[in-house]
Structure 1
Amino acid sequence: MPETDPMTEPAGRRSVPRKLDYPELTIPQMFEDSAQHRGSAVCTDFLGRTRTYEQIADEVRRVAMGLVTLGVEHGSRVAVLLPTCPENLVVTLAALRLGAHVVQHNPLYSAGELEPMFLDHGAKVVVAWDNVVPAVLSLRERTPVEHVIGVDLTKSLPAKLRLALRLPIAKAKESRKKLTAGSLPDGARPFASLGEHGPLPLGQPGPRPDDIAVIMYTSGTTGRPKGVPLTHANLLANCHQGVAWTGLRFGEERFLAVLPMFHAFGLTVGVLLALVLGAQISMVPSPEPKLMLDAIKRSDTNFFVGVPPLLEAILDEAEKKDVSLRGLEWVLSGAMSMPAEFVQRWESATGGRLIEGYGLTETSPVVVGNPFDSTRRAGTIGLPFPDTDTRVVDPDEPSRDVPEGEEGELLVRGPQVFDGYLDQPEETEKAFVDGWFRTGDLARHDGDYLVISGRLKELIVTGGFNVSPIEVEAVLRKHESIRDVAVVGMPSSRSGEQVVAAVVADGELPSNEELRAWAKQHLTAYKVPRRFVEVEELPTNLLGKVVRRDVVDLIPDE
């Protein structure tokens, strides 16, 4: 089938329009509209401290003015390295209000991991969690970074909790360390300083819908991270598609935001969709089961997006604490497939629905989802979103569609799909064919539904995050006991895939624990191989290139 046919609604399926009208708005205009209608309603809940839409709107205006004093203007880039927290929301909306591009980064990245991305996007202003400010400051000598703003997460806590964290006991000290460094080094200023210049004048020019709003980085098969610019129109299109798809109601929803805002799924569906709906957002800075469960019960959450490992952690914690999850009406899961047994376990515990969807950073992210009703089909990623077309084609001849039921590469197009990678025209050209985005994923049609069957790309997806084998291999080869290495993804029931390294040793190979400890000094935790397996040699093709599918055969079952 050349492209998705208009859906005819079978019995039991909620009617979803195939075509939508999209408001000509930017993200700041959307937020201001929601704030106007929901002024005194709770916008954010952060570990028990709430802020209303009116309060967040006021902070956005003041922080925007603070950014102006640092030289931020239309087209500037502001880098953000923060967990999911109110400050991340405020600075993101403030920068967008000025027409700046927000570059969301993982705050746990090392300086070495951040440097190529900072050289790529050139942000001069950085708003970062104070625990990682030293790493950011070290970039100033080698990148365009000029201004570093540090965020102490304890400032957003309820007063009682802030006082409790100052108690001179070991547990309080340990909890406090997870949230703040306690002080800022020379060369950085506190987040509060951005609000000292008064509110932004009402007449300040803003962005246009087709301007870039956010830049996110995705690992490439070459090992070089690729910047993905998403416009206001891209992101809001995906939000409005989400509203139509889910049937969620303005002013009536309570979201849990636990996926990070540097993850497209977490930013768009976890936060921006909530703002479009004027919903309450319970923000959790780290995926600790107790924090997530406390937030769900405190705010009576009825919708959130997650990945299977997070859902399993919540369910395990609820069962251990004998806490009811009834009332969690809808959960949208992505990044990896879900076993039917787990779906049944979750729905039995919550009385709600666990729905699987599919998307990529380049598509804002969601393009396909299961219906939010009884016609959802376990084991599939569902049906295309409104105004979204899909094809399954021959990967070697992408102009040719494969017969229905056969495996091929999934192509997509729609208003949520980006226009191309940041300053990488060759990568952009490879990514599109006749206006269709090549996902790199293998899929097949099962009637109207789509099933993901594999991946053309060599990226490893673990816990919802992309890992470039080439990047990890480059780091591991620096170890004195590793002569050569190939990194592959192995199936994991907990994380989708597990990062595993097949190693050709130079002398005696240290223990798995020692190699992991060394790798953690140079790589973010999710990129560190869970296992190091010693092999005599790596399988290669006639050109000497490592054949990863043959490497997988060398890895014994755990």
Structure 2
Amino acid sequence: MTTDPGSPARAHYAPGVPAEIVVPDHGVDGLLTEAAGRFGDRVALDFLGAVTTYAALEEQVDRAAGLLAAAGVRAGDRVALVLPNCPQHVVAFYAALRLGAVVAEHNPLAPPAEIQEQLDAHGATVVVAWENALDRVAPGGDRRDRTVWAVDLTAALPRRSRLLLGLPLPAARAQRAALRGPVPPGVRSWEADLRRAAPLPRTHPRPAGADLAVLLHTGGTTGTPKAVALTHRNLLANVAQGRAWVQGLREGAETFYAVLPFFHAFGLTLSLTFAVRIGATQVVLPKFDVDMVLAAMRRRPATFFPGVPPMFDRLAVAAQERGADLSSVRFAISGAMALDPQVARRWEALTGGLIIEGYGMTECSPVVLGNPFGPGRRPGALGLPFPSTDIRVVDPEHPAAEVPPGAVGELLVRGPQVFAGYDGRPEETAEVLLDGGWLRTGDLVRLDDGFVVLADRRKELIISGGFNVYPSQVEEAVRSMPGVSDVAVVGLPDGARGESVVAALVLEPGARVDLEGVRRWTHERLSHYAIPRRIAVLEELPRSQLGKVLRRKVREQLLD
């Protein structure tokens, strides 16, 4: 199915949304250049009250690009960012892209072994990392011949906040410890070096649309961790599609909340590119925290709020309890997992604005489908194909054959936002990218009058709080625990969170294992969102005739 004027999907587009978009023929760095030219005096970033205008942001990016170039970064080189949401993240992102380098994004709270494996795989020789992530980047101070810059998060705070953090009080010490960490010898200061750096000459060559821009780490459609390679054109296509989809946005007059992590495809596109494209002011928070969000709303009310369902649920409940005003939010986009209709109704009642669902995956930069902004939206549906996006619903065992209308099949997508492939993994790329540019999503859907409705997940991915959890990784961590003979990890329904990570254990004779022990054991081995929230002890795990654990059967057993 395509988005031509006669397609069932096109009939449901909101007024003014085109069937096709034009992708700019330049690099992502051009978004900031254009925004600074049009909205130089406008606040680009508000980080806990400290503001940076678009003109100042461009100036910082020019100096950061000069700093990276002086360190030997050239077009095509990989620059690793291991940072939470902060102004330094935005600056380093655009500085690397300005040079034509490739930004490799990393979760700063990921286990050390995972980050080391990723750094070794993509081969970055330059890393910009939060001080509290340095033990993951350079364990024991071993930089492995990489140039590493340490980012002091407190340097981006308002002056008053920095002074308060310096007070000899227990609360101040605790906050300092949460924001700062020790810096090993040989690691350079990002802030100190940036102050001394010379700007990159304006004549320096810029990247082209076909050049590689970003590496984002994901399990992809198979659950095996790998790096998704996105070009400048991929990212700019999704920006253009999003801009066309959300009619009514006022360029240079919107306030976005940047609470989704920048290292995640959803947060990267909505905050690092889309918001800059329209000259929005972004309220940047280092992590999602209800108190932080509501305090910021009093200072600088949001007009556009992208998030995942648990965020909207917690904010709506807190706002109701405290009488907080959310009426400034005209648009909200929910992604990464299904949105509970009850949560959507509560949010729209509190804000008076619209909240819609979308569907995407990292391999698609990431958005593929969206509900129309308006009365035509359908709660519970994934949405309609974005402009310039084609979809097919096919037999999962024979992807060349489409299923009958209304039948369940695997979703295939094609469009300018579809990725360039997995970095350094041509065989795995070939498994999901078919002839004609069609991407196998691994999700089972059906079509209902042009709308795509999720039927089931072909892959056994668990989506908890908007994060992808891969059962095999959790199982490996839990299986190494003393007393555990075998384990199967599944996702069980958990309200607004989506799914809860549950470990079904088979114990060794005489062993005793409790949830707290499992959580302690996996704390250093898994990201926080992948740590099991529940356990169940079984006598044995259901298996196939070939001996493979049947996670589906485990899930059914636990639900019963």
Q: TM-score, normalised by structure 2?
A: 0.96
Deviation at 1:271, TM superposition (A): 2.7
For 1:84, the equivalent position in structure 2 comes to: 85
Matched residue of 1:32: which SS? Answer: helix
- Whether 2:478 is the aligned partner of 1:479: answer no
Answering whether residue 290 of structure 2 is matched by residue 297 of structure 1, we say no
Question: Does the alignment pair 1:175 with 2:175?
Answer: yes
Summarize deviations over 1:188-243 as a string: whole Å, max 9, x none: 11111331221111111221111111100102576541110111110011001101
Q: Which runs of 5+ in 1 are unaligned?
A: none
Determine the C-alpha separation between the residues in 1 that align with 2:222 and 2:410: 20
The answer to whether the 8 Å contact 1:140/1:146 transfers is no
**2:442 aligned to which of 416, 437, 440:** 440
The TM-score, its normalising length taken from structure 1, stands at 0.96
SS at match of 1:358: strand
- Three-state SS of the structure 2 residue aligned to 1:494 is helix
In the alignment, which residue of structure 1 is the partner of 2:149?
149
**What are the superposed Cα offsets for residues 515-551 of structure 1, whole Å, 9 maximum, x if unpaired?**
1111112111111111121111111111111111011
How many residue pairs get aligned? The number is 554
Which residue is 1:103 aligned to?
Answer: 104
Please list, as runs of the form range in 1=range in 2, the aligned pairs for 1:336-375 lying within 5 A after superposition. Answer: 336-375=337-376
Matched, 1:190 2:189: yes
Whether contact under 8 Å (1:12, 1:374) holds in the other structure is: no
Cα 1:482/1:175, change in 2 over 3 Å: same
- Indicate the larger mover: 387-396 or 62-71: 62-71
Counterpart contact for 2:141–2:184, Cα < 8 Å? no
Q: Deviations over 1:243-285 (max 9, x none)?
A: 1000222112111010001110000013310100011011010
Using the alignment, how far apart are the partners of 1:479 and 1:376 within structure 2? Answer: 47
Alignment of 1:268-307 (within 5 A): 268-307=269-308
Residues 1:147 and 1:180: Cα distance change in structure 2 (over 3 Å): same
Taking the aligned partners of 1:138 and 1:448, their CA distance within structure 2 comes to 51
Cα distance, 1:320 vs structure 2: 2.8
Q: Matches of 1:68 and 1:21 in 2, distance apart?
A: 32
Moved more, 327-336 or 202-211: 202-211
8 Å contact 2:309–2:340 — kept in the other structure? no
Residue 535 of structure 1 corresponds to 538
In structure 1, the partner of 2:124 is 123
Match of residue 267 from structure 1 = 268
Partner of 1:550: 553
Q: State the Cα distance separating 1:13 from its structure 2 match.
A: 3.2
8 Å CA contact retained: 2:75, 2:99: yes
User: Alpha-carbon deviations, 1:7-46, whole Å to 9, x = none?
Assistant: 5766993221101222212111221011111111100000
CA change 1:12–1:474 in 2 (3 A) is closer
Say which SS state the counterpart of residue 422 (structure 2) adopts.
coil
1: CA distance, partners of 2:498 / 2:272: 24
Equivalent residues of 1:63, 1:90 under 8 A apart? yes
1:523 aligns with 2:522: no
Q: Write the distance in 2 (CA, Å) between the matches of 1:82 and 1:11.
A: 40
Kindly, what percent of the aligned residue pairs are identical?
45
Partner residue in 1 for 2:202:
202
Helix, strand or coil at the partner of 2:496:
coil
Q: Could you tell me how far apart the structure 2 residues matched to 1:492 and 1:90 are?
A: 37
Deviation at 1:5, TM superposition (A): 4.8
Residue 160 of structure 1 corresponds to which residue in structure 2?
A: 160
Question: Residue in 2 aligned with 1:498?
Answer: 500
Matched, 1:512 2:515: yes
Unaligned runs of 5+ in 2: none
Give 1:215's aligned residue.
Answer: 215
d(CA) in 2 for partners of 1:139 and 1:541? 44
Pairwise CA RMSD: 1.7
Counterparts of 1:505 and 1:274 in 2: how far apart (Å)? Answer: 50
Could you tell me which amino acid in structure 1 is paired with residue 449 of structure 2?
A: G
1:232 aligns with 232
* Alpha-carbon distance in 1 for matches of 2:93, 2:43: 19
| Secondary structure class of the residue paired with 2:521 | helix
Contact 2:433 2:440 in 1 (8 A): yes
